[in-house]
A and B are shown apart, each in its own frame.
Chain A
Amino acid sequence: MIPAAFDYIRPSTVEDAVNALADAGEEGKVLAGGQSLLPVLRLRLAAPALLVDLGGLSQLRGIREDGDMLVIGAMTTHAELAASSVPLLAQVAATVGDRQVRHRGTLGGSLSHADPAGDLPTAAVALDAQMVLAGPHGRRTVAASDFFVDLFTTALAPDELLIEVRVPKLQGWQTHYTKVGRTAQAWATVAVAAAVRRENGSIAQARVALTNMGPTPVRASAVEQALAGVAVDGDAIAAAAAHAAEGTAPASDTTASAEYRSHLAKVLTRRALLAAVGR
């Protein structure tokens, strides 16, 4: 399968990339690692006139500290993230696709693609990540919860680029990501990201986010509320996890029914929380 013809540029600055996108209007498309875009182009589900390859923007690659935050460049690959010590994101990145995909695929690409079965969008929502976007009129920061708008749809304008992702260091938190897929390399049927902060033997604060339980990643707010202040105890965690599917809208497809996804959400929320607290 061969993509439709397109023109190609590989800018060396963010400004050049943004200007090229602005000139191309709706006809431009950003190429990061290409692990989602190239399959789409090969199937001719999209046929942009111009690809703007970010592969030359080495300044968007790598992880740095900024006070209480970690700042991850959008072109950091899943393999690089998996080898890092970024809380939650390192573990999540190690579960994306397979080894080959992780060497090419990038954090920024995965977030911008916004696949409802994507793992990294869920981690971003669980961490309350801040997305830094660059456009022709400068930069703006968008909260992860506002970034994911709908199925494969983000707050990015056609002439904007996601350039970096800011996440809290979460010192003193325990995190875990639990995923069920049909095969080792499959997209998540359902997955759950959990982060827990303990104080004096009980759960002071919990963050739980769900993958593939609707068109965008969602926080399991009812679970988070049920966990606040409870003892770190298997029964209490199981009782809270029973709320995981509340307010969600999972799809039914050839992999799983909505009912099965709702069941999985509860089971995996319990498992993710127990694994996070080391039970």
Chain B
Amino acid sequence: MSGLFEEIHEQPAADVPTRRVSITVNGDKRVAQVEPRLLLAHLLRQGLKLTGTHTGCDTTNCGACTVLFDGKPIKSCTMLAVQADGHEVTTVEGLAGASELHPIQEGFKDEHGLQCGFCTPGMMLAAKALLEENPDPTEDEVRWALSGNLCRCTGYQNIVKSVMWAAKKMQAQSAS
């Protein structure tokens, strides 16, 4: 792994081809010099120290590494950092405001939507994308929207409840 850190530091080894990427992460423009093989998930976690994005399965199954890419949920372990050049990325660190939690975070707290918490960042970002597209989803629609996110504690009942809770709260907020 040690080579990887060099790739995303400012002075990479001379014989490794690198690319300069500029990515807007949670509203801030971030610039990094990366090896083309560097995955977006690794740039976020190791390069930018945004460790809220988890890497679970490394095989595009579990969805723990889900981030929003130009507002759409994607798996950041299945995207190269160079592919994100010039785009916007939102990670779980970008969910809460300065002083208060995002309603989705409140929902997961209130409805006990997490047990070990490993899948939670990905679940919340997938839920955010759903609620932006469909503010009043049925339980079934929530389950389908989260079908790319696995919870190995199998706490799905409360995860779905948390998203439904957040949908209600966000609807009440936009109505008021």
- Closest residue of chain A to B71, judged by CB? A103
The answer, yes or no, to whether A34 is at the interface (CB within 8 Å) is yes
The SS class assigned to the B binding surface is mixed
- The contact of B79 among A7, A43, A51, A104, by CB within 8 Å, is A104
Contact A100 B126 (CB under 8 A): yes
- Which B44-89 residues have C-beta < 8 A from chain A? 58-61, 63, 66, 69, 72-75, 77-80, 82-83
Taking Cβ atoms with an 8 Å cutoff, the residues of A that contact B are: 1-8, 10, 31, 34-35, 38-39, 41-43, 51, 53, 55, 79, 97-101, 103-104, 183-185
- The contact of B78 among A10, A39, A43, by CB within 8 Å, is A39
* A3 and B36 alpha carbons, distance in the complex (Å): 10
Pairs across A and B, CB under 8 Å, 17 listed: A1-B58, A2-B4, A2-B42, A3-B37, A5-B36, A8-B82, A10-B82, A34-B83, A38-B77, A38-B80, A43-B59, A100-B78, A100-B126, A103-B74, A104-B69, A104-B79, A184-B144
Residues of B within 8 A of A5 (CB): 16-17, 35-37
Task: Given A6-B37, A8-B80, A98-B147, output 10 extra A-B contacts at Cβ < 8 Å.
Answer: A1-B58, A2-B1, A2-B39, A7-B36, A38-B39, A39-B60, A43-B59, A51-B36, A104-B79, A185-B148
Contact B16 A97 (CB under 8 A): no
* A41 and B80 alpha carbons, distance in the complex (Å): 11
- The contact of B148 among A8, A31, A43, A101, by CB within 8 Å, is A101
- Closest residue of chain A to B55, judged by CB? A1
Residues of A within 8 A of B78 (CB): 34-35, 38-39, 100-101, 104
Contact B60 A35 (CB under 8 A): yes
* A148 and B91 alpha carbons, distance in the complex (Å): 39
* A10 and B74 alpha carbons, distance in the complex (Å): 20
The listed residue with most A CB atoms (<10 A of its CB), out of B42, B58, B63, B75, is B75
